[in-house]
Structures are given as C-alpha cells and as structure tokens.
Amino acid sequence: MKQLKLLALIIIPLGIIIAAMPADKVNHSRLTPGELLQEAGSGVQFISPDIVADMLVRKDPSLRLIDVRTPEEFETYSLPGSINVPLSNLLSEEFSDILNQDAYTNVFYSNGSVYANQAWMITRQLGYENNFVLEGGLNYWFGNILSPESPSQTSPDEEFARYDFRKSAAAALGGGGVVSTDAASPSPKAVKPPVTAKSKKKPSGGC
C-alpha cells in the first residue's frame, strides 16, 4: 500500500498539471528556415491553373480560392467563389481558422505570384498545411486560361488537348475582366510542377 500511496502522490499532481494545459490545435510543427527554403525552392507550393480551372468547372467543394490583394482590387474583380484575405491582415486572428486547417485546399492568388507566394511562405513557416499558390496568378489566368492561345498546326497533341480544355473552362467560368499587373511578376511559361498531396513522413508502426 505504501508504494501505491507514493505512486498516487506523484502521478495525480502530474495528471492535474497536464489536464490543465491548453491543447494545441491541428498540427503545429513550425518549419526551420532550411526546410522552408528547400520547400520554396522545389516549388511544391504551386498549383497549376489548369487544375484549379478544372476544380472550378467541376465545382469541387474542397477548393477554396483566397485573394490576397487589397479589398479594393478584390471588389473590382475576383475569381468565382474566392474570399479576400488581404496580405497585410494575413496573421489576424479572424483568418487563422481559414489558413490553419486540413479540410480545404486553399489556393492563394494575386495578380502575379509575388504576394500569393509571400502569403504561402508566412503560413508555411507557421506549419500550416494545405495552402497553395496559383501559378502565374491572375495575369496568367487571363492570358492563358480565359483566352487561351490556339496552338499552331505543328504543336503536339497535348497542346491541343490543353487548348480545348481551356476553351471550355473559359466558357464555363465567364470571360475576362479588368487586370492590373503588380510590380515584379513575369507570367511564367507553362511549367507544371507536379501537385503532389503534401505527404509528410507518415508515422508507421505495427503490432
């Protein structure tokens, strides 16, 4: 009995302390600068506009477009169904549930990709997942999705396929709107990095 009392004396207070501690929400493993640099460099944050267009056309419920420009720009034009989280307010409490979650696929966009990329960097550093950057931003979107270039006669088949897809997507999504370019944003050529679901090292174990 003596040892039992001693044991109880130790673990009950420990239990009370641990019970009183606030629980963390979702996943909170901040990245080290090195990790962030590596991820940013590999381009995993980019999501191809074709994929986004496809999700929009299919009305995929997991897609959530986030416009990181100013409210005025958002008013002027925004992608269908998108919400406005201005970059300057990114870290405000009201948006933390939107940015730190694992139900939706968030896609940041801005006119080019600089601001969207910044938003991604900041949230990624905090350990948030499921956030992506629309490749090429609105500029590329207008130039290539909504008004796709028709391929020349000698282009490979997949270019034709892509052109057809974009034409029908454009029709479904409505025509273009007012565009303004921000400072340093070249619209990148159609380089499509694979959008792989971010699979962190999944814990493994067994019997």
Partner 1 sequence: MTINTSKDKSRKYLNPYLGGVLLGLVLLSANFIAGRGLGASGAIKSVVATTIGTVNKDAIGTMPFMAEYAESHSGNPMKSWLVFEMFGVIVGGFLSGAVAGRLKLKVEHSPKISSRRRLIFALAGGILFGFGSQLGRGCTSGSALSGMAVLSLGGFITMMAIFGTAYALAYFFRKNWI
Partner 2 sequence: MGPLAPNEIISENTNFLLAFFIGIAFGWVLESSGFSSSRKLAGIFYGYDAVVLKVFFTAAITAMLGLLFMSAFGWIDLTLVYVNPTYLTSAIVGGVVMGAGFIMGGFCPGTSFCGAAIGKIDAMVFIGGLFIGVYGFAFTYGWWEKLYLARYLGEPKISDKLGLSDGLFGLFMILVALGMFVVAEWAEKKFPREEY
Q: Which residues bind partner 2 (CB under 8 A)?
A: 1, 4, 7-8, 11-12, 14-16, 18-21, 23-24, 27, 29, 200-201, 203-205
For residue 129, the minimal CB distance to partner 1 (Å) is 19
At residue 66, the 3 state secondary structure works out as strand
DSSP bridge pairs for 66: 83, 108
Q: Does 16 bind partner 1 (CB under 8 A)?
A: no
| Cα(178)–Cα(53) distance, integer angstroms | 19
Taking the CA atoms of the chain, what radius of gyration do you get in angstroms?
A: 22
H or E element in which residue 140 lies = helix 137-140
| Cα(71)–Cα(151) distance, integer angstroms | 36
174-203 footprint of partner 1 as x/- string (CB under 8 A): -----------------------------x
Nearest one of 166, 161, 158, 160 to 136, comparing CA atoms: 166
H or E element in which residue 188 lies = none
Contact with partner 1 (CB under 8 A) among 156, 174, 194, 205: 205
For residue 11, the minimal CB distance to partner 2 (Å) is 5
Q: Does 152 bind partner 1 (CB under 8 A)?
A: no
DSSP bridge pairs for 35: none
Residue 178 near which of partner 1, partner 2, none (CB within 5-8 Å, type-dependent): none
Residue 12 near which of partner 2, partner 1, none (CB within 5-8 Å, type-dependent): partner 2
Q: Does 19 bind partner 1 (CB under 8 A)?
A: no
- By CB under 8 A, name the binding residues for partner 1: 3-4, 6-7, 203-207
